[in-house]
Structure formats: C-alpha cells, structure tokens
Structure 1
Amino acid sequence: MPINFFKLPLVLSRLIVAESEYPEIFLLSLCSRRTKVLVKKAVVKISKLAYRLEKCERYNEFKIGVVIDNKWFPITSVLHRDTLALATIFTMKLGDDYEADTNLDQWCDEDGKFLHRMECANEPMAVQKALQDHMNSIFHYSETNQLYLWTKCEGCMPNVRNVGEIEIRFDNILVFDTQFLENVLTTYSDHQNLSVISVDPLGELSNDSPVYQVQKINIACPCGPEHFHNFVGKNVRLEWTTVTEQDLIQFLHKWISNEAYHDLESMSIVSENVIDGDMVRQEIEFEEYDPDEPEKRPTEVVIDMPCISSMRLEYHLNEDFVEVKRITDGRRAFLSIRNDSFDFLVHRN
C-alpha cells in the first residue's frame, strides 16, 4: 500500500526514510522537490561513499554504493548508452538544475532486496558530476570517496572528485597498461591509497612514477623488487613478488642507516621464490624476542592497508620477529622472514 509521507507526522516520516534501504532513499529523493527535502531532513549519513566503473552489455556502467566494514551496499547505477527505448523514458532531476532522460530497470536480488539501474544517453561526465553532487547533498557527505576501476576508461576518467582510495582490477581490464595506471593517479591527485589487482605482471615504471608516491599501496600481481626499492610512502604490500636476499639486505641497510624510507611504517612481501632468512639476518644487527621481558616491545601491530582491498593486517610480535634499530635516531622496527614472506614493521613512538 502506498504511503503519503506528507500526511504523517514529520517525526514519523523522517523515521521511515531513515530506516529505508539506500536505493529506496535515492529514488525517493528523485520523486519531487518535497521528497528530496524530506530525505535531507531525515539526516541519513553514510560512512564511505564509493563509485565503481565496469563494463556491462558493451557499455560503461557507473555504480554508486556505500562501503560499510569493507562491504559494498548499492545505492544506484547508470548504464551509459547511446540511445534509449523511447516508450519507457522518464526524466531524472538531480539537484536544482540538471535533468536527464532515462530508462529505469527494477528487480529484486536473491535476498529479496529491491534494486534498480538507470540507463542514460546524456554526456557521461555531466551525469556523473550531477549524481555525485546529488549524493553529497542528500546524505550530507563531505568525506573522501573510494573509486573502483574495473574496466579501462575509453577517453575521460570517471568524473569523481575528492578521491582518496583507488582500486584498479586489471584482471577485468584484461591487458595490464602501466600508462593507464599512471594516468589514473595523475587524474585523481588527492589519492592516498591504491590497490592494484591483476593476473598479469606489473609492467616497468619510471623511478619517479606517481605509483611510488602513494602513501598506502597494495599490489596483488606479479612484480619485482623495484616496487619497494623506489617506494617513498608509508605502507606497501606486494604479492607474487620475485625478490632475492640481496634485495632485502639492501632495503634493510638503507633503512637502518636512514639513507631511505624515512616515512615508512610497514612493508609486507609475499614472495614467489624461497627466501633464505638466515642469510638476510647475518647481514644486520638485531635483537631477538625475550620471553622473560615481553614488555620491551608491543604485543601486536595493526596495519590498515587500502580498505578497498578489505585488508587489515594484524601482527603478533612474538619470537617470529627480531628487533632492528635505525642508527641515527634509535627508532625501532620489527622484522619477520619466512620462506615465502618478509614483514617489516616500524614502531610508532
């Protein structure tokens, strides 16, 4: 049975809006100026707004969702088409002055939740900007955004502002393109976190590539040691890495002497080849864990990597870790080397 919100007490109508699903709230905000005002007065706030570009039916689909505890909850999506089915067009009004003709698809998912998708033939950049402005308005949102790129952009990048975290999935893009990767980082210059996922090797990058300037980076694809030798950010995690003991010794010597890695907080490597931990440890001075004095070091260290990758790493600083010190200031770090992994955690004084 339809509900006339405007015949209900204001407190009750706001409560109904606040308890609605995100897609329902969005569609309600499009119904009229009065319903948009009602949605805004309900003060539905979200923790993290995310945008995702992917391929669907040969067209780009621009999805918008909310990320809660690293899980995606859809709000709406737009399929950028060349033409629309004329018989089912309705006009979408975003903000105070933007209008776009659209077709609306509606369905229920396996859990019985109501979902929808709009199809639009307007210029994509204009639609995307209007949608972001609308989301910021109805959800009172001003924080940074997450951006998922699951297809290679033909032409302009998605028109999303204030991007703090980026995930690029090259397994969906099919061909790894390092120039595209660098173009993404140049376009969204406010980014702090980057996650790159691919089954293909990470190609060659220049020593001053913007990839190495990212503060937190997760590279889940075949790669070499140059991706930590040139890193100047805070947190780096590399998977499927081909690395030698000499590469790791060089890294440790540079950190201990304060020659490089001044801002580093953590480095984690999952190696494709076997690492001889004894060989590495023989080249540095270190202090082993003392079970009789466990208070000399933290019990555990938690590293928040790019949250797009749902990665929160917890390390227990037990006998697996040895302690090393930086010569210039005595700053401590904890090192663990196994056959297939290398973890280096700088103590936060």
Structure 2
Amino acid sequence: MCSRRSKILVKKGNIKVPKLAFRYEERHGYNKFEVEVVTDESRLPVTSWLHVPELASEEVSTVKLGLGYKADTSFHVLCENDGKFLHWTECANEPMAVQKSLQDHVNSMFHNDTNQLILLMKYKGSLPNITDVTEIEIRDDTVDPQFITNVLDMYPDHQRLYVKSEIDGEIPKESPFFQVQNIYVTHPPSRKYSCGPDYFHNFVGRNMRLDQATVTEQDLIQFLHKWISNEAYHNLETMVILVGPQCRINENLIRQTIEFEEYDPNEPEKRPSHFPIDIPFSYNFPLRNQNVVEIKRETDRKRAFVYLTIGCFLLVVHKN
C-alpha cells in the first residue's frame, strides 16, 4: 500500500475524504477487491487486490496491514495503450481476513463518515465485513430477492440502494427492501423480469426511481389516490417511473381521475421553478411546465407536482 513513512505523513495530515467505496467483482475467475475515494467529481483509486489460489510470481513481498496482520503478496503494474497505468496486488491469504485488515489500514489513514459497497458479482459465503455502509450498489446479470435481503440485513445503516440487475423473482412485502429510504432499480430491457407495481405499492421510504418498469394506468391511479387521501406514502418525496418499451402511459386517462391545477404562465410565482432530485444522481427538475400539474393532499393540503408522458411518471412532494 505505502511505506511506513508515507503512512505516518498521511495520518499526520488528517486527510478527510467524503466517502470510501469498497468494490467487489470477479476478474478472470478470481475475486477482486478495490478501494476508492469518492468525490463529487471523480473516483480516485486507493488500492486493488486480487485473491489467487497461490502466488505465481517469483517476486513475493510481505506486506503488513492494520494491527500486525501480514500477508505475502506480489505487485503488478500494466501500462495500457492510452498511457494509463493499472496496478494490483495478488494475495493468496484468506480473503475475508485480508479485506478486514485492508479496511482497518485504509481507515487508519483516511477520515470519512460513510462507506459505499459495490457488489459486481454473485457473492458466495459470508458478505464483506465492512462498517458504516450507507450506500449499496448491486450490479450483476441477475440477483435473487433473498440475496438483497441478506445484504440489507448485513448493513443496517443503509440509506441508499442501487440495484442494476434483473431481480429474479418476487420481493416479499415484508422485505427490508421496501424500508430503504432511497432506492434506484433498473432492469435491462431485454430481460424476462421487470419492475412491477408492487415495487412502489409497498414502498414506505422517501425516494424511489424505477427504470424499465411495467405498470398500467390503474396502478398509477391507485398510487395517486393513496397519496391524495393520505392513506399511504406519508414520507414520500419523489417517485420516478420510466416504463419499458412494451408500455405506454395514457396521461389523459390518469388526469381524468384526479383533481389538479394546471400551470399558469401568467402566474409563475405560484410554484417553485425547480425541484431538486438526487436519485440516482443530482439534478433540478423544472416545475414551471405545461406538462406538470399540481395536486393537493386532502388532509393537510400538502402540495405535490405530477409530470406525465407516455413513457414517464414523476411525482415530487413540495417540502414547504
């Protein structure tokens, strides 16, 4: 990782980083573990380790990690055609022990409040022993609902969940999946399964975005009526649903079932100009638009804005 002198200098510098990301993936049949510093602008690599059955290189070095943990390793550097250098460390020690020692080692040098976990493989056995995980990303061809439950149970401090995989099966209503405050799910359009209405009907968090969803107008009407009557979605802030190519939303049919107020360009000050959305990324959604209508909750007259097209449904709840 670095020399003893460099480690001491880094610790003395009291370096504060916004977030550390721990990434797990399969590479050429081996498990790969990476640590990155995450900023608003970029992701900066810290270290990359590859677990192998045995060290094939003749140049083996003993590396000390954390509080006295030692591992025999071999270091590799590769220069790509564009001049970019890739480097990684191979190690044959028990992977969970190496991962835990690496985390302790990195945390002893950098100061951060939250960690991000990225799983790019079908994880077998015990999940990584990482603390303070607030953001989880699962990305693979398919993922089992039980695996999602296991991940959420393992990291109870989660605030954000990104699932960029085909979820193979129905998610039970009692699953902690629906308790996550911020969820983004996307399915490849060619896959067998897609996001159905149960995803948002059972949701009790704050922000959800579904890509490649399969829903009907009645599903969306039921959702709107439950919010308007205050029957459900008490904590909801944003709901974004992008339907798959097999679906088309009849926005006029939905509008006929709710009371709403259209945008008046002569009185733009009656509504905010934009609404900040930060899942899966941060952007400002314009509200002063003819396609955006205003609705109110019956119990407290809380305002929300609804955007409808043939391929998109968006609801944002005004905070004031």
- Give TM-score, length-normalised by structure 2: 0.93
Map of 1:159 onto structure 2: 129
Residue 169 of structure 1 aligns with which residue?
139
Q: 2:41, 2:226 → 1: CA distance?
A: 35
Residues 1-349 of structure 1: pairs in structure 2 closer than 5 A? 27-28=1-2, 31-32=3-4, 34-69=5-40, 71-85=42-56, 87-109=58-80, 112-139=83-110, 141-171=111-141, 175-198=142-165, 200=166, 202-221=168-187, 222-272=194-244, 273-306=247-280, 311-317=281-287, 318-349=289-320
**Counterparts of 1:201 and 1:270 in 2: how far apart (Å)?**
17
Q: How far apart are 1:113 and its partner, in Å?
A: 4.6
Instruction: Report Cα offsets for 1:231-273 as digits up to 9, x if no partner.
Output: 0000000011111111111101100111000000000000121
Deviation of 1:201 after TM superposition, in Å, equals 5.2
What amino acid is aligned across from residue 188 of structure 1 in structure 2? Y
Alignment partners' CA distance in 1, 2:201 and 2:155 = 24
Indicate the larger mover: 213-222 or 34-43: 34-43
Contact 1:202 1:223 in 2 (8 A): no
Verify the 8 A CA contact 1:258 1:327 in the aligned structure 2. Answer: yes
| Contact 2:203–2:233 under 8 Å retained in 1 | yes
Equivalent pairs: percent with the same residue? 54
**Compared with structure 1, are the counterparts of its residues 274 and 202 closer, same or farther at alpha carbon in structure 2 (3 Å cutoff)?**
farther
**In 1, Cα distance between equivalents of 2:243 and 2:58:** 57
Name the aligned partner's letter for residue 296 of structure 1: K
After alignment, is 225-234 or 175-184 more displaced? 175-184
Moved over 4 A (4+): none
Separation (CA, whole Å) in 1 of partners of 2:77 and 2:35? 16
The secondary structure found in structure 2 opposite 1:248 is helix
SS at match of 1:73: strand
Residues in 2 aligned to 1:76 and 1:142: alpha-carbon distance in whole angstroms: 17
TM-score (norm 1): 0.85
Distance 1:235 1:41, change over 3 A: same
Q: Cα RMSD between the aligned structures?
A: 1.6
TM-aligned CA distance change 1:302 to 1:109, over 3 Å: farther
Segments of structure 1 that go 5 or more residues without pairing to the other structure are: 1-26
* Contact map agreement 2:21 2:35 (CA 8 A) in 1: yes
Structure 2: give runs of 5+ residues left out of the alignment.
188-193
Q: Distance in 2 between matches of 1:288 and 1:90?
A: 69
CA distance in 2, matches of 1:298, 1:86: 62
SS in 1 for 2:58: helix
How many residues align structurally?
311
